[in-house]
Amino acid sequence: MEHIRAINDLVVRFANVNGTGSASANNMFAKAIFRMGIPVSPKNIFPSNIQGLPTWYEVRISEKGYLGRREGVDLMVCVNPQSMARDVESVKPGGYFVYDNTKKLHSEFIREDIHYIGIPMTAITMKHYSDPRQRQLFKNVIYVGALSALLDIEMDVLKGLIEGQFQRKQKLIAPNFKALELGESYVKEHFQYPLDIRLERRDNVGDQILIDGNTAVALGAVYGGATVAAWYPITPSTSIVGAFEKYANRLRKDPETGKSRYAIVQAEDELAAMGMVIGATWNGARAFTTTSGPGVSLMSEFLGLAYFAEIPAVLVNVQRGGPSTGMPTRTQQPDLISSAYASHGDTRHVLLFPSTPKECFDFTAQAFDLADRLQTPIILMSDLDLGMNDHVSPPFEWDDGRQYDLGKVLSAEDLENIEQFGRYLDVDGDGIPYRTIPGTHPTKGSFFTRGTSKDEYARYTENGAAYVRNVDRLLKKWETAKKHVPAPELYQQENSNDYGLIFFGTTTYAALEAMEVLGEKGIKLDALRLRAFPFNETVREFIADHKQVFVVEQNRDAQLRSILINELDLYPRQLIPILNYDGQPITADTIEQLILSHYPQEKKHDDIHQTQVPAS
């Protein structure tokens, strides 16, 4: 039988039942490898359910730092009989299948081309623990212990993690250690170890951190000065405000009174959440809300109000599989059009596309500056993969001299010195007017905010010319926005190929890997990573510089490609969609295959709409 041999380059998958407490054990596994200096990329694949259904945890370990998803499992840990058939199948030939052999494995699960490692997890827990809940929980720790021997994970690192976790519950440390050791020693007694696929300490993560995007967003909001968070729970965005609360509670209490320097409102729905944000920002606070696709649809009337009345707002859209309720626990990037053009009438919104936790942190903090500067909603486009999975990320940084950019807000003193305040006057020629915060001045600067058409002095008007002046100024403001939003990242000093690659957000991980792999095959691509909408000149030039540009995204309708064509007046056939939308993060392999099918000339199909995505 084939033997896979690999050091620090493998995919380990855990098959569990949700609600059985496997998450913390699995996290410990990934974190330990990370602490051994080896880049890891864990992914939760979980059902929309609380208890009793299959759930998977997949860890890609890659010394080279390839952190996108990869098909093909090298080692499967299966403790869920429900999913066993599928799980056996997903192991690569020559791979390993670790299972609970307290009961004998049914013959239908036996494949000739993979290795089986039976560990009597249930039997061990039955013997060593009496409380059924402890049995359940420690089963998970036992398999981690077993893996430490099988894969050569440093036991000290694992124990260090446990000590860290149970710092304030010391009495839980010993039983956890014991469980680890039970697993380890079972392996050592019964198998040759380590396996041919295994780990070795490296120094490949540097000072990086392992963190999920939602926590990063929450920290960005704390650092960016958000004081009001209004939200309604929805997967996969829910954990953001939880984390915001946790850190604000720790870092934002008034030291004297113990009172909060923030307010969190769990709204009655997404419409109300967005309304609260608008009310708070209108009143001069920094406020944000978090949601996913369905929430954006519900917020769409309010987004139009904020656009037209020019009220700052920060919205975090952690995208999930759509349309409608869709695939609530799967990842996609399917809300680009609905977010960019949310609401009726001529509207358009600024989008930010973070691709790492570091950018989640940075862009969230920046979003508040942008919202105040541009007086318009800023939508941070995260997704389930980025938001809910841990990612290796550069550490977060903050310049203590940094000042919040509150934009064009007039103080009482300013008002004294102004002849006539016009809320919607384009004083500076950049399309951005000045605003005042309620309560500023006893007799000057008050105005009426409304979603109806108005003149430069915020007075209601049905006059067509005044309306046109106002909406044309909004276009000018849109031009100004291009200068303020994060610029795209280029991956070459100079463009030097006919073919270009555009990606953004979580397509980045797989796209960079695909580029390297293709490069090794002699296919060189220039690349650009989008970080915001509206697009600036660099994007236009990058596309103009290439015969064909591949646009990688995770939705069916090639929405980013549409927006690029629309906004930059591009020739559509120049942009080739590279799509994956089955709810799993896109893989380098998918990108590579799709690019190859179009390279060097558009071979088979002329109609690029017919591009087929291989089932992945």
Partner 1 sequence: MTYIKPRFRHPELPKNKIGFAKADYEGAISTLCGGCGHDSISAAIVQACYELSIEPHKLAKLSGIGCSSKTPTYFLSNSHGFNAVHGRMPSIATGANMANRDLIYLGVSGDGDSASIGMGQFVHAIRRNVNMVYIVMNNGCYGLTKGQNSATADIGSLSKGGAVNHYPAIDLVGLALELGATFVGRSFSGDKTQLVPLIKAAMSHPGFALLDVVSPCVTFNNKPESTKSYDYVRAHLEATATIDFVPEKEEITVNYPKGKSAHVELHDGSIIHLHKLAPNWNPTDRYSAVNRLLEAKMKGEVLTGLLYIDPNSQDMHELENTIDQPLNTLREKELCPGSEALEKINASFR
Ligand X SMILES: Cc1ncc(C[n+]2csc(CCOP(=O)(O)OP(=O)(O)O)c2C)c(N)n1
Contact positions vs ligand SF4 (CB under 6 A): 50-51
Show contacts with partner 1 in window 132-151 (CB under 8 A): 132-134, 136-137
Contact flag: residue 571 with a second copy (CB under 8 A): yes
b/e burial code for range 162-200 (CB count within 10 A of at least 16 → b): beebeeeeeeeeebbbbbbbbbbebbeeebebbbebbbe
Vertex 511, ends 509 and 514: CA angle to 5°? 115
Binds 581: which of ligand SF4, ligand X, a second copy, none (CB < 5-8 Å by kind): a second copy
Binding a second copy (rule: CB under 8 A), the pick from 21, 422, 451, 486 is: 451
Residues pairing with 489 in the sheet: 529
Taking the complex as a whole, how short is the minimal distance between the CB of residue 408 and partner 1, in angstroms? 16
Q: Which is nearer to a second copy, 180 or 576 (CB)?
A: 576
Does 453 bind a second copy (CB under 8 A)? Our answer is yes
Q: Judged by CB under 8 A, does residue 279 bind a second copy?
A: no
Cβ at position 17, least distance to partner 1 in Å? 9
Which residue lies nearer to ligand X by CB, 452 or 463?
Answer: 452
Binding of ligand X at residue 275 (CB under 6 A)? no
CA distance 4 to 115: 10
Beta bridge partners of 575: 549
Nearest residue (CB) to ligand X, 147 versus 272: 272
Please list, in sequence order, all residues whose beta carbon lies within 8 angstroms of the beta carbon of residue 77, skipping any fewer than 6 positions away: 12, 13, 14, 15, 98, 99, 143, 147
Least distance CB 208 / partner 1 (angstroms): 8
Candidates 124-132, 403-411, 543-551, 607-615: pick the segment binding a second copy (CB under 8 A). Answer: 607-615
- Token pair for 598: 């179009």
Rounded least distance, CB 426 to ligand SF4, Å: 34
Distance, CA of 371 to CA of 362 (rounded, Å):
14
| CA nearest to 264, candidates 284, 240, 282, 294 | 240
Residue 601 in the binding site for a second copy (CB under 8 A): no
Give CA angle at 433 (316, 429), nearest 5°.
115
Among 157, 263, 264, 298, binds a second copy (CB under 8 A): 298
Q: Does 387 bind ligand X (CB under 6 A)?
A: no
User: CB–CB of 61/40 below 8 Å?
Assistant: yes
Rounded CA gap, 289 and 313, in Å? 8
Q: What's the closest the beta carbon of residue 606 comes to a second copy, in angstroms?
A: 10
For residues 307 and 349, the answer to whether their CB atoms sit within 8 Å is yes
Report d(CA 312, CA 226) in Å as an integer: 12
Tell which residue, 535, 433, 530, 434, has the closest CA to residue 483: 535
Q: Which is nearer to ligand X, 210 or 234 (CB)?
A: 234
Cβ nearer to ligand X, comparing 100 with 383:
383
Residue 304 interacts with ligand X (CB under 6 A): yes or no = no
Q: Which stretch binds partner 1 (CB under 8 A): 100-108, 145-153, 377-385, 432-440?
A: 432-440
> x/- binding map, residues 534-563, to a second copy, per CB under 8 A?
---------------------xxx-x--x-
Using rule CB under 6 A, residue 295 touches ligand X: yes
452 vs 566, beta carbon nearer ligand X: 452
Among 2, 269, 472, 537, binds partner 1 (CB under 8 A): 269
Q: Is there a contact between 217 and 359 (Cβ–Cβ < 8 Å)?
A: no
Binders of ligand X among residues 213 to 252 (CB under 6 A) are 232-234
Listed in sequence order, the residues at least 6 apart from 209 whose beta carbon sits closer than 8 Å to its beta carbon are: 357, 392, 393, 394, 395, 396
Binders of a second copy in range 370-429 (CB under 8 A): none
Residues that bind ligand X (CB under 6 A): 232-234, 270, 294-295, 298, 325
